[in-house]
Amino acid sequence: MGKEDEPGIRLPYGRQWIDEEDIEAVAQVLRSDWITTGPQVPAFERAVAGFVGAREGVAVSSGTAALHAAVHTLGIQEGDEVIVPTMTFASSANVVVFEGGRPVFADVDPDTLLLASDEVERHLSPRTRAVMAVDYAGQPCDYDALRRICQRHDLPLVADACHALGATHRGKRVGTLADLTAFSFHPIKHITTGEGGMVVTEDSDTAIQMRAFRNHGISTEARARAQQGAWYYEMVDLGYNYRLTDFQCALGMSQLTKLPDWLARRRALASKYDRILGDLDGVTPLAVREDVEHAYHLYVVRLKGASGEQRDKVFRTMRARGIGVNVHYIPVHLHPFYRERFGTRPGQLPVAEEAYNEILTLPLFPRMSEGDVDAVATSLREAVTDL
Ligand SMILES: *Cc1c(COP(=O)(O)O)cnc(C)c1O
């Protein structure tokens, strides 16, 4: 898996799991007539939407394309603002820029690193057009609070749930908590299609618009035209080629059958980490909110009070021992692109900036063994003691 399969790294922070059933599912489609935008696409859309309990799913070529499609349907214009937490992957904010908008970065809760609702209030302006929640590490945000704010100000709520497929909030699955919810099927995420993503929504008109957006803004798809024997089509919007192939959708459907087991496995491994690390001085696992079932895309700890240099030392020590720790994320407002284009700067969002110095992502994926968790914890204990 690209960068993660580094020489000497015995345990990456995440890894896909592809079995013979998956390979057979892909091979079957490759032997068929339709290898892209055929019957597997709507089947995968129904399967994912069904799993999360949403009405519609729109499959696209990446999680970023899913976020882009979601933001596009909001009709963002030049200068419009979208509130985005800074503790996320850059693409959550980038998609706003794709549409000519301005991401307004908000700070996070220090215990969970989730978008803080009072921060959303603080950053509202007459130009605010939407709020984007990010279910950091796989934990649902405080959707009750976020929805209240959005309803009060008549703003759509978009969820970047690329970490949170299978998570729940008060018994409701992520995918039903925001107006539009984006998932990613990159190999590091819960299930994979190689590259891929999906937006789920209750709104069928928006789904139709997003299906056009993924296909150049064309209002009907090739397969539907072939069935009608018609050559005529209309381009009704400016769109992209964000299609997901049929063989990728077949892989996704095969992967989805294993998701419940994998979620259970991630939760079991995370609770083992919690138990072992609970009494380790200087190491604080992120807090888990009440009323949520965490999907544990990532297992993140804070090295409380550590400087960035100290965290880097722990990072290097563990990597030297073959443990593929990582850091999620550099706050997006600190990236040169945002500083230069939008004038963001260090000091602006102190909670996320302080957290950034202290966070470390430990390996977590369904194929890890209990012994692997012990080995990571031992290595972390030693690295922290050496500080
Ligand atoms: C993975 C991820 C994305 C982008 O997904 P891709 O499929 O890699 O484009 C966006 N946001 C977050 C929070 C992610 O983790």
pLDDT per position as a tens digit, 110-132: 999 999 999 999 999 999 999 99
Please identify, by atom number, the ligand 1 atom nearest to the C-alpha of residue 188.
1
Share of the chain above pLDDT 90, in %: 93
pLDDT value, residue 230: 78
Q: 324 and 13 in contact (C-beta within 8 Å)?
A: yes
Buried residues in 3-31 as b, exposed as e (16+ CB within 10 A):
ebeeeebebbbbbbeeeeebeebbeebee
Nearest CA to 189 out of 207, 204, 174 is that of: 174
Q: 130 and 76 in contact (C-beta within 8 Å)?
A: yes
Nearest CA to 324 out of 20, 45, 62, 1 is that of: 1
Whole-angstrom Cα distance, residue 207 to residue 293? 27
Which of 60, 94, 184 has the most ligand 1 atoms within 8 A of CB, as the residue to mutate?
184
Which is the catalytic residue, given 3, 172, 189, 272?
189
Which of 68, 84, 98, 162 has the most ligand 1 atoms within 8 A of CB, as the residue to mutate?
162
Which residues touch 3 (CB under 8 Å, ≥6 apart)? none
**CB under 6 Å to ligand 1: residues?**
62-64, 88-89, 91-92, 134, 160, 162-163, 184, 186, 197
Q: Closest residue (by CA) to atom 6 of ligand 1?
A: 63
Q: 302 and 365 in contact (C-beta within 8 Å)?
A: no
pLDDT value, residue 1: 40
pLDDT value, residue 267: 98
Residue 189 bears catalytic tag: yes
Please identify, by atom number, the ligand 1 atom nearest to the C-alpha of residue 197.
7
Q: Residues of the chain whose pLDDT is less than 70?
A: 1-5, 222-223
pLDDT value, residue 4: 47
pLDDT value, residue 5: 58
Task: Tell how far the Cα of 297 is from the centroid of ligand 1, in angstroms.
Answer: 11
Task: Tell how far the Cα of 165 is from the centroid of ligand 1, in angstroms.
Answer: 12
pLDDT value, residue 2: 41
